[in-house]
Amino acid sequence: MVDFRLSSEQKMLVETVRKFVYQELLPLEDGIEETGGLAPELARQIFEKSRDLGFYATNIPEEYGGGGLSAVETMLVEEQFGHAKDILIRRAFGNVYESLLAGTQEQKQRWLVPATAGERTCSIAITEPGAGSDAAGISTHAERDGDDWILNGYKYFVSDGVYSDFFLVSAVTSPQNRPRHISMFIVDKDQPGVTVGADTTMMGLTGSTHVELFFDNVRLAPDTLLGGEGQGLRLALTTLGRVRLAQVGARAIGKACRLLTLANDYAQQREQFGQPIGNFQMIQAMLADSAIEINRSRLLLWRAAAAIDDGDETGWRNLISMVKVDAAETLGRVADRTVQVFGGIGYTHGFVVERLYRDARIYRIFDGTSEIHRTVVAGGLRRTGAPVYDIGA
């Protein structure tokens, strides 16, 4: 029997996170929209409250100071945090990149443990003008100089780069073997030759930063190479896979749930022609379709997370692409329907529905576009000759 029920501990976890999000985070959103950011003292308060409740670095094993949650439990937490704005999630949740687990014990003590404790923050720097969904298409490169490496190149759309203390940077380390010979380096922001460039203003995601990074003859010691030479693409794809599942899949579902709640409540309150608009079948159809799609996406999310917990790497790679497409596009449709239910007020600048609508649009683009992930799923079909994860497979 397939059991979709949550344990009492998991239910308590969801309730605790939801209470924190709605009491501590959502009240700050209007101020972020007005000022364009979050005051440092507020950011610190959020972090400390979240850490004290055990929400920080839940995806990292307990031996390194993390929460040690399973992938399924991490998705439960991520969905609830998804109700809030991106900048608030980053300040409160701190989902530390699991690529750091591939490091040596010395690397873990130097970079992972402080990140898990919230003493240092990290961003991943992979995207370039010629390498978005194609993580292997990078031009940033590192060449040996004795035992050291010399890093040169350019990254952009580095999320949270303004606040990060160090970066996980992908670089070509054997140009003759491109595109597969890519390595991952841990680069401290204060390294000579590292420059943080302009922040790119987005249509949505107010308050979040997405900066450029320039690397000009940055000398890196041997102990900054993460996971071994030539292992960077594997680490990047593994990290991005987990990121897609959590920060796109689960959070998209959380945002869709918030939008549907807003739409449903408004449909019961707003009256036209002498009755609530929720009595009209056209409105009911939009609400019903949103509920159906959200629940479908959540079940697919849980299945992918369960595959990770089971150690089924081949299975979860294909499932993550399915989740990325389905959850992102579900969020887009739910956001569009919610604006329609609210009518003119839903299109008003500064109103919660309007800003959630703007935030929703990026989910079909970042961490691999929907088109790229459909290609991944189709590739799985070609290799197996049967529907991916057919019953009994």
**pLDDT, tens digit, for every residue of 90-140?**
888 766 888 899 999 999 999 999 999 989 999 999 989 877 666 667 899
- In sequence order, what are the residues at sequence separation of 6 or more whose Cβ sits closer than 8 angstroms to the Cβ of residue 141? 151, 152, 153, 171, 172, 173, 175
Is 86 a member of any domain?
yes
Question: Total domain count for the chain?
Answer: 3
Are 239 and 366 found together in one domain? Answer: yes
Are 237 and 320 found together in one domain? Answer: yes
Are 237 and 378 found together in one domain? Answer: yes
Is 390 a member of any domain?
no
CATH code assigned at 335 = 1.20.140.10
Is 151 a member of any domain?
yes
- Report which secondary-structure segment, H or E, holds 280: none
Is 344 a member of any domain?
yes
Is 315 a member of any domain?
yes
Are 323 and 357 found together in one domain? Answer: yes
Does the pLDDT value for residue 392 go beyond 50? no
Is 336 a member of any domain?
yes
Q: What is the mean pLDDT of residues 73-95?
A: 89
Are 220 and 237 found together in one domain? Answer: no
Q: How far is residue 71's CA from residue 319's CA, in Å, rounded to a whole number? A: 14
Is pTM, for the whole model, over 0.85? yes
Q: How many CA atoms lie within 13 A of 127 on its CB side?
A: 18
pLDDT: which is higher, 380 or 114: 114
Are 206 and 273 found together in one domain? Answer: no
Are 202 and 279 found together in one domain? Answer: no
pLDDT in tens, 234-273: 887 777 777 788 889 999 999 999 999 999 999 999 999 9
Are 155 and 294 found together in one domain? Answer: no
Last residue of a domain, one of 207, 226, 245: 226
Range of the domain at 294: 233-384
Are 36 and 164 found together in one domain? Answer: no
Are 207 and 264 found together in one domain? Answer: no
Model pLDDT, residue 391 = 47
pLDDT: which is higher, 85 or 314: 85
CATH code assigned at 71 = 1.10.540.10
Model pLDDT, residue 133 = 62
Measured in whole angstroms, the distance separating CA 202 from the mean position of its chain's CA atoms is 16
Last residue of a domain, one of 43, 70, 103: 103
Of 242, 235, 236, 245, which Cα lies nearest the Cα of 325?
A: 245
CATH code assigned at 182 = 2.40.110.10
Are 145 and 221 found together in one domain? Answer: yes
Least confident window among 64-68, 176-180, 287-291, 297-301: 176-180
Backbone angles phi, psi at 272, to 5 degrees: -140, 140
Are 215 and 268 found together in one domain? Answer: no
Confidence bin at 367 (pLDDT 50/70/90): confident
Does the pLDDT value for residue 359 go beyond 90? yes
Confidence bin at 389 (pLDDT 50/70/90): low
Is 375 a member of any domain?
yes
Length of the chain: 393
Is 183 a member of any domain?
yes
Last residue of a domain, one of 181, 202, 226: 226
Does the pLDDT value for residue 8 go beyond 70? yes
Q: What is the mean pLDDT of residues 51-67?
A: 90
